[in-house]
Amino acid sequence: MSVPSSWLLQFNHTNSIGTCNRTKEPRQMAIPKVVRAPLTSPQPLRRLNHLGFTIVLVVPSPSFMYTARSPAARPAFCGNAVLGRMNFLPLRNSVIKPPPAPPLFRRIQFPQRRFRGTITSEPLTSAAPNAEQSTQSPPSPPKKALWVRASTVLALTLLTFGIGFTMTAAQALETLNDFRKPPTDAETLTLFTPDSEELAEIEQHILVHPLTQSLIEDPKYIPSRPHLKIPPKLRPHNLTGGTLLGQDKIAVPPLQFSTEDGSTFVSLQYLGSALCGHPGIVHGGLLATILDEGLGRCCFPALPNKVAVTASLKIDYRKPCLASQYVVLRAETTKVEGRKAWVKGRLETLVDESKGEKPDVLVEAEALFIEPKQAATMTRVYHSPSR
């Protein structure tokens, strides 16, 4: 009988372990010395079995025993295999198995704690006290009465509120007092102090100019600097009195002259190089802002409550306004009807007309101002001029 050459005979001499399975693929066991040889005849199997060798038959597939062509090969192979399985089956228990792997998650039980306020039907049991816990803790002091604790909390609250209110409301009270008692027109002329030589030179040029001197000598005009009536805490939030006022801008607070009846108005100011739209030319929007504010101040005294808002403003630009020069705003009230006032004015260069110089008209404007219906109850930032 011939046996396929792909079969292999595997055996060892120690006879320590052996296995054979007819229906499953053979296991590969740990054998100290293994000899592999091709199987060509069933006769060596019987001889090796009598000599005490363990026989392990390695076949290509588990069902190869049943697919062999010769029936005579089955008892020759399977008989020894079954016998070997029966003889060496008890040896499986002697194989050292690896310890089981620890579980991935382990359940941890924490000791239960009983609190003083816990309600339970079981009696509370405690372990025997340790040596360190043998001494009892000192008793807690008795609580104060409820009215004492409430009075303490209320007093601390009032004290904290009073300190905070004093620190935050002091500045607000000072600003409110400045609203109630603003400086007079004469006092505003002394409130500005130049902080640089350049500003001092600009201030001196405006004060000694022939036009300024002629207006001061005219009794119908009231000189003032209305922007300095704004409380110092609020000036940074004012456009013409704070944001646009300073070095290289509107250098010094405008010096203004108004009449008591609101008929005419004159304002002198210096426009710096930081107010340009195009290089070297003052922005047209700034000129419109100056005219809007100047024409409004002209007509305020002519209205019942000395305050108004702009209803319309017409601007005609005549010539470019160069930066870093002095300008004069002239305005006059042309008509007043109840809460409405019509004003026209112009912005021109500052020249000495006594020497025959003629100013250049830069911008002309016409505006309509209307006093709000609730003007009587409005808070007035700018008050009417007074001596």
pLDDT tens digit sequence for 129-188 = 454 454 566 677 777 777 778 888 888 888 888 887 777 766 666 666 666 677 899 999
pLDDT greater than 90 at residue 205: yes
Nearest to 211 by CA among 366, 332, 325, 357: 357
Residue in this structure with the two tokens 């604790």, named with its chain if needed? 149
Instruction: Kindly provide the b/e burial profile for residues 323-336, where b requires at least 16 CB atoms within 10 angstroms of the residue's own CB.
Output: bbebbbbbbbbeeb
In terms of Cβ atoms closer than 10 Å to its own Cβ (0-12, 13-18, 19+), residue 185 is buried
Nearest to 195 by CA among 270, 246, 250: 246
Nearest to 34 by CA among 46, 25, 26, 23: 26
What average pLDDT does the segment 357-383 reach? Answer: 83
pLDDT greater than 80 at residue 80: no
Which range among 115-129, 175-189, 338-352 shows the weakest confidence by mean pLDDT? 115-129
- Whether 221 and 258 have beta carbons less than 8 Å apart is answered as yes
Which range among 10-19, 100-109, 136-145 shows the weakest confidence by mean pLDDT? 10-19
- In this structure, the number of other CB atoms found within 10 A of the CB of residue 29 comes to 17
The phi, psi pair for 330, rounded to 5°, reads -120, 135
Nearest to 91 by CA among 14, 23, 36: 14
> pLDDT tens-digit profile of 284-307?
999 999 999 999 999 999 999 889
DSSP 266: E
Predicted local distance difference test score (pLDDT) of residue 86: 43
DSSP 192: -
pLDDT greater than 80 at residue 56: no
Where residue 110 falls among pLDDT bands split at 50, 70, 90? low
pLDDT greater than 50 at residue 12: no
State which amino acid sits at residue 136. Answer: Q
Nearest to 380 by CA among 231, 190, 259, 222: 231
The phi, psi pair for 315, rounded to 5°, reads -120, 135
In terms of Cβ atoms closer than 10 Å to its own Cβ (0-12, 13-18, 19+), residue 235 is middle
d(CA 331, CA 345): 4
DSSP 92: G
pTM beyond cutoff 0.95: no
- In this structure, the number of other CB atoms found within 10 A of the CB of residue 227 comes to 21
Q: State in words which class domain 175-377 has.
A: alpha beta
Where residue 235 falls among pLDDT bands split at 50, 70, 90? confident
What average pLDDT does the segment 41-58 reach? Answer: 52
Reported as type and span, the H/E element at residue 82 is helix 73-88
Reported as type and span, the H/E element at residue 297 is helix 284-299
Tokens standing for residue 128: 């025997």
Predicted local distance difference test score (pLDDT) of residue 99: 62
Locate CATH 3.10.129.10 in the chain. Answer: 175-377
SS3 annotation, 167-184: HHHHHHHHHHHHHHCCCC
Instruction: Tell me the residue ranges of DSSP E strands in the chain.
Output: 8-12, 35-38, 54-58, 221-224, 255-259, 264-271, 309-317, 325-337, 340-349, 361-370
Instruction: Kindly provide the b/e burial profile for residues 87-124, where b requires at least 16 CB atoms within 10 angstroms of the residue's own CB.
Output: ebeeeeeeeeeeeeeeeeeeeeeeeeeeeeeeeeeeee
Mean pLDDT (the chain) is 74
Where residue 100 falls among pLDDT bands split at 50, 70, 90? low
Predicted local distance difference test score (pLDDT) of residue 40: 52
